[in-house]
Amino acid sequence: MPSAVATTSLFSPLEMGPYTLPNRVVMAPLTRNRARTGFVPWELNAEYYAQRSSAGFIVSEATQISQQGQGYPNTPGIYTAEQVAGWKLVTQAVHAKGGHIFLQLWHVGAVSHSSFQPAGQMPVSPSGVPFHDGSVMTADGRIVPYERPHALEIPEIQDIVADFRRGAENALAAGFDGVEVHGANGYLLEQFLMGHSNLRTDAYGGSIENRARLLLQVVDTVIEVWGADRVGVRLSPWGRGFSGETDVVPVYSYVLRELDARKLAYLHLIEPHVREGSAPIPEEARSPLVTFRPLYPGVIVTAGGYKRETAIAVVENGLADAVAFGRIFIANPDLPRRLMENAPLNPYDRSTFYGGNEHGYTDYPALEE
């Protein structure tokens, strides 16, 4: 189904909410674990984002809305005055170069460890079910088994909605151009959507409508702060959280219709990564844009291992309006230019993705260098 937004190419302008974006090459949210003490962004982060300000727009790295929402070391927050001041350095640097940047609002839920939590409490989840049988990182970087999380009570759920609202308000104060609600990758909002992690029998569990209630409440409270046309939502049908789920299409069909009614700035859909030897998945999982595009005629940003040729094609055929790039944007600060000119790409260094200093962060050269 063609997009409601006229598309010509990956390199043509895009009307998105109140903004006219210079191209459709989006910088995906990328956890880099380089916040300072207090989970505060600083000058190095500002330089990193400013280098990439030629993107159509930037989605910041996932940013926890509270201490409870954190699950990895040295990830930035948006719940203290110091964090807001740190993010102002970033937004000012991006805007000085003519860029646009949205903040991704994040709560990891059960994908955490008690070492991150206030007073060493257990992480939280819909039903007290561990995320899966794998392992999680502690605050000091050790890898340990998942703990059994605390099942949220309804007043605690409402506290989390209020934390999302505070995060949205703080993002506005920090000078962002909008916010993206992180409802993907097996984190808290997706944990409520998933039948195997949400075993509740109250208003937040059971039916699809109930399982989607928290996501939609969060979106609505963020809209109250920003207006719908400056809010995006990221989702990951058939991602790691939904592995083995049988009602993916009904769940996301309901969610997408509800989001479409809200007239958001954009919907950010992650393509599933199908690995060799993994369990069989339904055919519709291999082409989620084909499955879901008819349900969402607004702006869709897609992500998931795109190359130049596949990104150009998905925009030109109208299945998506923009494409988010991750690893190659880390290594190529001038990625839109390189893609447009079909110039060679710097290779990325995985060993520098998480934590560290400027090496592998702000020292990748642009073309003219």
Phi-psi region of 206 (alpha: psi -120 to 50; beta: other; left: phi over 0): left
Structure-token match 């409440």, residue found? 217
Q: What is the pLDDT of residue 132?
A: 72
The boundaries of the domain holding residue 307 are: 14-352
* Confidence at residue 2, expressed as pLDDT on a 0 to 100 scale: 41
pLDDT tens-digit map of 60-119: 999 999 999 999 999 999 999 999 999 999 999 999 999 999 999 999 999 999 999 999
Q: What does the pLDDT average to over 11-26?
A: 98
- Is the pLDDT confidence value at 4 over 90? no
Arithmetic mean of pLDDT over the chain: 93
Span 155-169, mean pLDDT?
A: 98
Strands 178-182 and 231-235: parallel
- DSSP annotation of 77 reads B
Q: pLDDT class for 7, splitting at 50, 70, 90?
A: very low
Give DSSP secondary structure letters for 171-225. HHHTT-SEEEEE--TTSHHHHHH-TTT----STTSSSHHHHTHHHHHHHHHHHHH
**pLDDT interval class at 134 (50, 70, 90):** confident
Question: What is the rounded average pLDDT of the residues 5-27?
Answer: 89
Identify the band that residue 276 occupies on the pLDDT scale cut at 50, 70 and 90.
very low
Confidence of residue 282 (pLDDT cuts 50, 70, 90): low
| Residue 329 maps to a domain | yes
Residue 193 located in a structural domain:
yes
**Is residue 357, in this structure, part of any structural domain at all?**
no
162, part of any domain: yes
| Residue 2 located in a structural domain | no
Q: Which of 146, 187, 296, 306 is catalytic?
A: 187
Q: How many domains does the chain have?
A: 1
| Residue 5 domain-assigned (yes or no) | no
**219 and 168 Cβ atoms separated by less than 8 Å:** no
The number of beta carbons lying within 10 Å of the beta carbon of residue 128 is 15
What's the pLDDT score for residue 309? 97
- In this structure, is residue 6 part of a structural domain? no
Average pLDDT score over residue span 173-198: 96
Q: In whole angstroms, what is the distance from residue 42 CA to residue 87 CA?
A: 8
Q: Flag the least confident range among 126-130, 154-158, 227-231.
A: 126-130
Q: Is 37 inside a domain boundary?
A: yes
Over residues 182-197, the mean pLDDT reads 95
Which range (7-11, 113-117, 266-270) has the least confidence? 7-11
Check pLDDT > 60 for residue 275.
Answer: no
User: What is d(CA 80, CA 37) in angstroms, rounded to the nearest whole number?
Assistant: 12
Comparison of pLDDT for 242 and 268, the residue scoring more: 268
At residue 343, does pLDDT exceed 80? Answer: yes
Secondary structure of the chain: what % helix, strand, coil (to 5)? 35, 15, 50
d(CA 310, CA 168): 34
Q: Is 187 a catalytic residue?
A: yes
Per-residue pLDDT band at 238 (split at 50, 70, 90): confident
Residues 108 and 189: their CA atoms lie apart, in Å, by: 8
Report the CATH number that the domain containing residue 195 is assigned in CATH.
3.20.20.70
* Per-residue model confidence as pLDDT tens digits over 302-336: 999 999 999 999 999 999 999 999 999 999 999 99
pLDDT of residue 131: 77
Percentage of the chain with pLDDT > 70?
A: 92
